[in-house]
Amino acid sequence: MKKLLLSTLALVATMFAANAAESTFDWGAQGLTNAEVINGREFKTPEGITIKIDKATSSSDPAFYTAAPACARMYAGNVITFTAPAGGTLTNIEFGLSTYTNYNMPDGDDAFVASSGTFTSDPKTTFKATWTGSAESVTIELVNKKNANKKNPQFRACTYTFTYTAGVETVCATPKFSVEDGKYYTTQSVEITSNTDGAKIMYTLDGGAETEYTAPVEVAGTGKHVITAKAVKAGLEDSQIATANIEIAEPIKVSSIDDFKMNGEAEAAGTYFEWTFPVTVVRQVNVPQTSGDNRNNIFVKDANGDYMLIYGFALTEYANGDVIPAGVVGEYTVFNGLPEMKNPVPASLAAATEKDDCTPVVMTTTQVSAADLNKIIYLDNVTYNEVTDAATGKVKSKVFTDGTTDLNVYWQNGWVETRPASGTVLDCIAAVATFNGNLQVNPIEILDASAEPGQGSVESVDAENTVIVANANGIVVTVANAETATIFNAAGQVVKAANVAAGETTINVPAGFYVAKVGNKVAKVVVR
């Protein structure tokens, strides 16, 4: 009996050993380009082990880099998930790490959290890390914990070597959705996949008929939506049913930038708003990123002359003076004291169909105040000074001055190609900003001090003896002969209609954006 038991155990051990296998994944062999973002993308070994790195709670996208040597960089808050082939089990993962030791490498095993098993790491000496356990899938998070150098960590893996049991697949792998559960403000295109090769996916949308999946499922219409899906394949049991809960929400409509700020401050973070009014692009600053899409800063103003920054990535590119039609959708946020629209829905930034005045407002350093945040201004004939600490020799402040008032300067990375030397007299186009309660300007363009500011703030028509301009009281119309004048607001509604005599006539209207039609002449005017 004892001999039989030992023989049985030996047979089981032999079967297990025969079923164990190894697989290696090399980032340098994936055909990726330097600084290519890999967030949310799924990679596979030839044996069917999947690797997926997600941005998760980090502010930085995981990315592939070719240098020192080719590796994937994970940042604090990123997570990586490994999944065995259907029916299989992961038992060991060895990470081959970059030998490039820098100040950003994590310290100790407590810099990582594994969903199961044991994870050990030595990224600075042996350049190895190992996970050991037994799981169909394991997730490892790089914790947002500063290292001994007080730097946020980066984890740079070049290869993964897997030990796993292939197993025998008896049940189809549960489908996965490309869109996470949550609230969205536009139609969502949902892809559904299963790790079981050759499996057919059957799904339902909002309790409708079961349908074979052949293309992404479009989830549209305000309200809550539910997708269910299962994988089926001849010879295997059907998978468990997967469920996705997606809400398409209606953004709060606002009628002006001031209305946007007022409602944004009152509503919870994450609330989306829709601008029911057009805005004019005063300046757009695009900054290329070493990884990921370009960072876009779009400064706009509405018909009331109020300014706002639209901040996001890979947004529509506009020219100065382009009018963005009504319908822009995004969140309201205040970043270190500066109000912004963040996470704009790219599809809501429609192409411009017309032009309007985009002249920066000419101001002195003395005039600039917190009421001017996000305003694009023209500083005429100012001096740029860098103030150096006598003890350390380091620059402790940077300012523009008109001889009376100093105004803090912050050079945003990528906004201005060449910065002036201290003591330079210049003209500057800049955005008014604040950081932690300190008023500042962020230069956009440096000009020669002899340049003319171009103070014209209205678009006017001067042809055939008809002139249409604006002043503080309204719209001034000058005609050679009597004409009919019609004034429209930004929505196209008639606000004033009058017969004007030969000569100069002032049509009183409040501050705002208008279209004036006098005879067969048309002009856009902004009353300040």
What pLDDT, in 10s, does the model give residues 272-308? 999 999 999 999 999 886 545 678 999 999 999 999 9
Q: Is 425 left (phi over 0), alpha (psi -120 to 50) or beta?
A: beta
Q: Which of 75, 55, 229 is nearest to 142 (CA)?
A: 75
Categorize the per-residue pLDDT at 68 as very low, low, confident or very high, splitting at 50, 70 and 90.
low
Q: How far apart are CA 213 and CA 204, in angstroms?
A: 9
Q: How far apart are CA 245 and CA 224, in angstroms?
A: 7
Q: Which of 63, 61, 119, 69 is nearest to 95 (CA)?
A: 119
Q: Which of 174, 250, 179 is nearest to 216 (CA)?
A: 179
Domains and CATH numbers, the chain: 19-165 (2.60.120), 176-248 (2.60.40.10), 252-348 (2.40.50.140), 361-448 (2.40.50.140), 461-527 (2.60.40.3080)
pLDDT for position 462: 36
Q: pTM higher than 0.75 for the full model?
A: no
Tell me the average pLDDT across 235-255. Answer: 95
pLDDT for position 259: 97
Half-sphere exposure (Cβ direction) of 368: Cα atoms closer than 13 Å: 32
Lowest mean pLDDT among 14-23, 45-54, 238-247, 370-379: 14-23
Q: How far apart are CA 146 and CA 54, in angstroms?
A: 20
Categorize the per-residue pLDDT at 361 as very low, low, confident or very high, splitting at 50, 70 and 90.
confident
pLDDT for position 193: 93
pLDDT for position 293: 64
pLDDT for position 101: 64
CA dihedral 4, 7, 12, 13 (to 10 degrees): 150
What pLDDT, in 10s, does the model give residues 118-143? 999 888 888 889 999 999 999 999 98
Q: Three-state DSSP class for 374?
A: coil
Q: How far apart are CA 26 and CA 22, in angstroms?
A: 13
Between vectors from CA 57 to CA 51 and to CA 61, what angle results, nearest 5°?
60
pLDDT for position 18: 42
Categorize the per-residue pLDDT at 8 as very low, low, confident or very high, splitting at 50, 70 and 90.
very low
What pLDDT, in 10s, does the model give residues 303-358? 999 999 999 988 999 999 899 999 999 999 999 999 999 989 988 999 998 888 88
What pLDDT, in 10s, does the model give residues 418-447? 999 999 999 999 999 998 889 999 999 999
pLDDT for position 180: 87
Q: Residue 13 is inside which H or E element, if any? A: helix 2-19
Phi, psi of 466 (to 5 degrees): -115, 125
pLDDT for position 522: 78
Q: Does residue 16 carry a pLDDT above 60?
A: no
Categorize the per-residue pLDDT at 453 as very low, low, confident or very high, splitting at 50, 70 and 90.
low
- Contact call for residues 461 and 483 (beta carbons, < 8 A): no
Lowest mean pLDDT among 19-23, 263-267, 436-440, 461-465: 461-465
Q: How far apart are CA 205 and CA 32, in angstroms?
A: 36
Phi, psi of 259 (to 5 degrees): -65, -40
**Per-state percent for the chain, helix, strand, coil, to nearest 5:** 10, 50, 45
**Sequence-distant (≥ 6) Cβ neighbours of residue 520 within 8 angstroms:** none
Cα 119–chain centre separation? 33
Q: How far apart are CA 417 and CA 409, in angstroms?
A: 15
Q: Does residue 17 carry a pLDDT above 70?
A: no
Q: Three-state DSSP class for 147?
A: coil
